[in-house]
Structure 1
Amino acid sequence: MRKTSKPAPLDPAAICKSSDPMAVRELLTKIGDKWTIFVILSLDLLGGRARFSELERSIPGISQRMLSTTLKNLERDGLVIRELFPEVPPRVEYEITRMGKSLLGPTQGLVDWAKEHWETVRKAQSKFDER
């Protein structure tokens, strides 16, 4: 009887072609979260700059709390800037940064891929669930 050897585990640095794969994973987790893609794409569709209420109206299903949290995270990561206008009542606008704009192409590509393959994925899920 031949013994089959287990393949060696892959090196995470080789998988993502980075000397710091954990940093890559962390950033991909952040930008791939449920709402980040919608906020980035909505800001672009709204001309690159929008008020909180405009963003909230443009993203179906997002709560005020989740939008606020997502915008804070995007601001912290340098993808969005927040500008507070000293008016009564105060007005706040969010603007996509140059780095945030550089994310638009890959993000839209991912959205396009999802639209193109959703039906196939749904069928595969149904077939799997039937087993």
Structure 2
Amino acid sequence: MTTPTKADRENGSRFLPKFDDNGLLTAVIVDHETQQVLMVGFMDQEAIDQTLTTKLAHFHSRSRGKLWQKGETSGNVLRVQDILVDCDQDALVIKCEASGPTCHTGVTSCMYRRLEDGQLTPIDT
């Protein structure tokens, strides 16, 4: 297959993910009902394939260098409801139904603090 062009990615109907130099793209996970941002992760082709196959969110762990399914140890899986692809196909917004807290700290969202005047302030999640 030839390398996809900008026009292929921006105007075509085929999913042609544009991975970075490390073979990853950004995935923003939001609650499918509330639209609250739950987390940000990174996906490689294997994570995308597993997510599409199982309808459970999978990611590439940069620290461990391997595939992981969200909730594989905690049971707090993310059930994929919808996947949005940005204009140049290098980022995804994945709308999910969370079966429990998304953050490893036990809160609903990993985005539980706001930056105000150089300080982190807790917010309700």
Question: TM-score range, shorter-chain basis?
Answer: under 0.3
Task: Give the TM-score taking structure 1 as reference length.
Answer: 0.23
- Going by fraction, where is strand more abundant, 1 or 2? 2
Larger Rg belongs to: 1
Please give the TM-score of this superposition, normalised by the length of structure 2: 0.24
